Structure 1
């Protein structure tokens, strides 16, 4: 049986709220550490991931997964010595 949006919200709200608070605390710690305007790539990726979460486009999980994934390289075994 498919859940309604009300079902999803009531069942998952507290868990997701905790994750959002954790992310907010991370960004607070980063700011307190004196983050520079020239942010390294990991910070830029996190910013882009957060932007995906708040846009109006579908498939957020898939787009975020692709954002944090390496591009496919046919020679990956050689590069990783496998």
Structure 2
């Protein structure tokens, strides 16, 4: 039976990688701010998604990954195969 790690163990294992990823996000946002033009004019859905995801990171408790995944996911389209030219294969 696998024992779950305590918070200190998780932090020790994940801190450097998490810090690195947060710095990557900060750098991307800095590049957006320095770029000519306005990314939000007209409003861009992707920029709004990034802002919502950052806000979700600040919410306490588990479930942040699922919340953020849902922010970036498309609603299910039952005709997606036809839309993207994917042929359905069935065993003969």
Backbone CA RMSD of aligned residues: 1.5
Asked whether 1:40 is paired with 2:26, we answer no
Q: Deviations over 1:39-61 (max 9, x none)?
A: 41111111111111112353111
Q: Which consecutive residues of structure 2, in runs of 5 or more, have no partner in the other structure? A: 87-92
For normalisation by structure 2, the TM-score amounts to: 0.80
The structure with more helix, counted as a fraction of residues = 1
Q: Which has the higher contact order (CA 8 A, sep 6+)?
A: 1
Measure, in 2, the Cα distance between the counterparts of 1:13 and 1:35. 35
Task: Give 1 or 2 for the bigger CA radius of gyration.
Answer: 2
Which runs of 5 or more residues in structure 1 are unaligned?
none
Give distance in 1, aligned partners of 2:77 and 2:61.
28
Q: How many angstroms apart in 1 are the aligned matches of 2:37 and 2:60?
A: 29
How many residue pairs end up in the alignment?
82
Whole-Å Cα distance in 2 between the matches of residues 57 and 5 of structure 1? 13
User: Matched residues in 2 for 1:40 and 1:34: separation?
Assistant: 15
Q: Which TM-score applies when normalising by structure 1? A: 0.88
Partner of 2:14: 12
